[in-house]
Amino acid sequence: MSRVPSLVALVLVGVLTLTACGGSSSAASNLPTKKIAITINGSDTDPNGTEIDVKVGQPIEFDVTADKAGEIHVHSSPQEQEFEYPQGSSTFRVKAIGAPGLVTVESHTLDKVLFKLKAE
């Protein structure tokens, strides 16, 4: 008879675990992708040093238009991200920012801060 309460407790733990997993991933999937257009022409860039608001966990895409090939770095923690872009147009999916704060995005080719992602 002691098996019945143990079995019920085990089933409840399993249900609660599945519910918790489903809830956390669906919140991030409800956020729309933040698309950020980046234009690089010579040493001129747009954006140029501004802050761009994003939500923690929000998907982000960079749409890059450049007059020559180069490299963009996203200085996020725990893992930095690097994107090599060709001359012309390209799109990159950025790993979502996992915690509130500022994340610097720069062109190492130009040695210049393009913008900062302000994650809230």
What are the residues whose beta carbons fall under 8 Å from the beta carbon of 41, sequence distance 6 or more? Answer: 66, 67
Q: Measuring CA to CA, which residue among 106, 58, 51 is closest to residue 80?
A: 106
Same domain, 84 and 53: yes
Question: Which domain does 57 fall in, by range?
Answer: 34-119
Same domain, 53 and 97: yes
**Mean pLDDT, to the nearest integer, of 19-41?**
73
Q: Kindly state the helix (H) or strand (E) to which residue 95 belongs, with its residue range.
A: none
Cα(74)–Cα(29) distance, rounded to whole angstroms?
A: 22
* pLDDT at residue 4 greater than cutoff 60: no
Identify the band that residue 62 occupies on the pLDDT scale cut at 50, 70 and 90: very high
**What's the whole-model pTM score?**
0.75
Same domain, 41 and 90: yes
Same domain, 14 and 55: no
Q: What confidence tens digit (pLDDT) does each residue in 67-103 have?
A: 999 999 999 877 899 999 999 999 999 999 999 999 9
Same domain, 57 and 104: yes
Q: Average the pLDDT over each of 1-15, 18-32, 47-61, 99-113 and give the range with the smallest value.
A: 1-15
